[in-house]
Amino acid sequence: MALSDRLAEKTAKSRAHIEVDSTGADVTDVPVEGALDGDWGALIRHFGLDPDAFEVVDDTVRMSMREHPTGDKGWLSSYSARFRKIRHEMIRPEVLQRWRDDLTDWEPDPVSHVEQDHTYLVLVADPQLGKKGTQEAVENWRRGISSHVRQIRALKPARVHVAFMGDETEGACNNYTNQPHTIELNQSQQLELDFDMRVWTIKQLLATGLPVSASSVISNHGEWTRNGSKDPVTSSNDNASTHIARMTQRLFHELGHEIEWTIGETHPGITLTLGGVECYFSHGYKEKGRGATVEARMRAAIERQILGRTEELGTTKLWFMAHYHHFYTQEFEGRTLFGCPALEAERSSEYMLDQYGVWSPPGMLGMLVGGSGRGWQNANVF
């Protein structure tokens, strides 16, 4: 009799149970005759879960002994353990290997001349891969990067920074009611396409020969543990946007392409100094303010953030937000706020279009950051 069959027979009248959440599973009090001998997957398999998707947390394994219920078959072992999900398998090994092969021994061309000590900033926002019009969103993303690369070569800055501003994927459920019936790609396909596009993006920027840095923030569509509500089951920081950033970071690091990453972990926004200018990056779905327009509300939200975190944000000069799917900018008290346009397919946000007739052309914002005065110049949307 197979081990899983023996488990089923022995646990029929036992207290064995499992609790599963987004990070793993807790298996408790599963009786076994003899020893498991390291076959921890049998504990997960018994409850109908894929043992290849989980790994045991070694120091959580517990074994106890009790007399067999029949009284004449010796002792029964009972096991409890904590299993964690193997997140990296969300990107198939063949996809990772394809990029490893592509990037192995690849080197960008050296830069011959740098004109100015500025950073060229590229902002990738709201492609929402997987929703209606995914192919158009991919084309928008590729066009944006290719156009900004041409700007980089013409302007010759000292370095390049790419900011992944969130909602790179659409998600599969719980952002809105009919989401599972409208998406073009499932969750795994969305994550793989996001990974492909981020790796491709960084390769294009590295090809300029300039030092490249990158950042990534959490987003609302990245909250992959939502369960029929506005709040995730785990936390906002358990997020697809930053998870794929970490996988992209790991790939380039393993292949020797050193890129400085700043990945949001504990707060919706991150702060960076680019070209000597302090900058704030956030998807913009957490920061709240009051006002009659998006622009007014975001300005009020920024002012409240500065008031509550003056030491950290009081001298921040440039503020970059996404989420609202259109380009805007405004200045106040020596600061500049930029709202990023979305890369999603044009008019694909049907709710806003049907309710209010609102839509904006897709695009990707980029600019030079550095120097005195406003701290930015040569802003373009491609």
Please count the helices (runs of H) and the strands (runs of E) in the chain.
10, 16
H-run or E-run covering 361? none
Q: Which residues contact 70 (CB under 8 A, 6 or more apart)?
A: none
For residue 271, list its beta bridge partners.
Answer: 280
Amino acid identity of 332? F
State residue 213's pLDDT score: 98
Q: What is the CA radius of gyration of the chain?
A: 25
Superfamily of domain 88-381: Metallo-dependent phosphatases (3.60.21.10)
Instruction: Tell whether the model's pLDDT for residue 107 goes beyond 90.
Output: no
State residue 12's pLDDT score: 44
Please compute the mean of the pLDDT values over residues 104-122 and round it to a whole number. 84
State residue 105's pLDDT score: 87
State residue 34's pLDDT score: 62
Instruction: Tell whether the model's pLDDT for residue 79 goes beyond 50.
Output: yes
Residue among 173, 184, 183, 166 at smallest CA distance from 127: 166
Residue-wise pLDDT for 325-338, tens only, equals 999 999 999 999 99
Residue-wise pLDDT for 11-44, tens only, equals 444 577 778 776 678 878 777 766 666 677 777 7
Residue 368's SS3 state is: strand
Neighbouring C-beta atoms of residue 140, cutoff 10 Å: 23
Q: Which residues contact 52 (CB under 8 A, 6 or more apart)?
A: 41, 86, 89
H-run or E-run covering 153? helix 134-155
Please compute the mean of the pLDDT values over residues 122-136 and round it to a whole number. 96
Q: What are phi and psi of 114, to 5 degrees?
A: -115, 125
